Amino acid sequence: MKLPTRVKIVDVGPRDGLQNEKQPVSAEAKIGLVQRLQEAGLREIEVTSFVSPKWVPQMADNAEVMHGIQRQGGVRYSVLTPNLKGFEAAIAAPRDEWPDEIVVFGAASEAFSQKNINCSIAESIERFAPVVEAARAKGIAVRGAMSCTVGCPYEGDIAPEKVGYLAGLMKGIGVQRVDVADTIGVGTPGKVQRAIEATLAHYGIDAISGHFHDTYGQALSNTLASLELGVWNFQSSVAGLGGCPYAKGATGNVATEDVVYLLHGMGIETGIDLDKLIDAGVYISEVLGREPHSRVSKAIRTKRCG
């Protein structure tokens, strides 16, 4: 079995990780986190979300954050834009503050789609068509986040055919690459591989990334299962930021530190300095007043103390 020799990671901590935090996190702290992530070698960072502050107050400082980050060459900065209004807000700033990529989203579960945005999967993707068209016309890349690809809090197991259906809809509106996301962290390796295989009917392996939550402790196993299929793009969150709203007290996004340790241990290059990454996780965790949700971080920091 030939595994990828190099992996690229999108750190989603500043956006997906922080958006559900109850306590306000300052723009300065978010900018500081982005700075530390890129200094650690991250080449893709999901920075913020251009959504209504009524729904996601934590992201109300989106323009301030995009203005404040010190961009580095070779780093791709992405933002979530759920509608045309959000996209227009994302490009209202000067050109050098625009995102390099926008993210749109859709669920592989009809029940999840209906309960969260009151429309069918097909209707939800159709709503994104003008957003995708507008972004690509401006030379901005488009990524599609496919949620609930292996399990749903309302429907239970999700058939691979539903994942393929969603991927086909996203391809149809011009989404360039997609994330196969286990939103509630119930997936196991075989289920994740089937979801990826269904996506491969519409996208090449280079345009597919894995996004795994660690609610049931399966995220690293699912990462390895994805690598076995040739997937070399992954999303994770520094310090394991981002809880799972459907499993009280459970961890959400897998920690970037843990994924990087796994990859480096397998001889797979990431371009990331693990020590600097751990320090970035400590930085934002101190802002939040808690310990990083990363076993690797804890182990290495304990070792540092002798």
pLDDT tens per residue, the chain (306 residues)? 689 999 999 999 999 999 989 899 999 999 999 999 999 999 999 999 999 999 899 999 999 999 999 999 999 999 999 999 999 999 999 999 999 999 999 999 999 999 888 899 999 999 999 999 999 999 999 999 999 999 999 999 999 999 999 999 999 999 999 999 999 999 999 999 999 999 999 999 999 999 999 999 999 999 999 999 999 999 999 999 986 555 455 568 999 999 999 999 999 999 999 999 999 999 999 999 999 999 999 999 999 998
Task: Tell me how many degrees the CA angle 204-206-211 measures, rounded to the nearest 5.
Answer: 105
Provide the number of structural domains found in the chain: 1
- Tokens representing 283 are 């930085």
Q: What is the pLDDT of residue 117?
A: 82
DSSP line for 69-119: ----TT-EEEEE--SHHHHHHHTSS-GGGS-SEEEEEEES-HHHHHHHHSS
Residues designated catalytic: 244
Tokens, residue 191: 């289920």
Say if 220 falls within a structural domain: yes
168, part of any domain: yes
What range does the domain containing 272 cover?
A: 8-305
Within a domain: residue 254? Answer: yes
Separation of alpha carbons 146 and 149, rounded Å: 7
Q: Is the pTM of this model over 0.75?
A: yes
Q: Is residue 1 part of a domain?
A: no
The token duo for 171 is: 């391809």
Rg (CA), the chain: 18
Give the E-state strand segments of the chain in sequence order.
Answer: 8-11, 44-49, 76-80, 101-107, 141-147, 151-152, 156-157, 177-182, 208-212, 233-236
Is residue 223 domain-resident?
yes
Q: b/e map of 239-269 (b: 16 or more CB within 10 Å)?
A: bbbbbbebbeebbbbbbbbbbbbbbeeeebe
Indicate whether 148 belongs to any domain.
Answer: yes
- Residue 221: give its domain's CATH number: 3.20.20.70
Q: Evaluate whether residue 238 is within a structural domain.
A: yes
Tell me what pLDDT residue 247 has: 47
Given a contact cutoff of 8 angstroms between Cβ atoms, the answer to whether 215 and 185 are in contact is yes
Q: Token digits for 220?
A: 């690293």
Residue 253, C-beta contacts closer than 8 angstroms, at least 6 positions apart: 12, 13, 16, 17, 211, 213, 214, 235, 236, 237, 240, 241, 242
CA distance 256 to 240: 7
Q: Residue 285 domain-assigned?
A: yes
Query: What pLDDT does 115 receive?
Result: 86
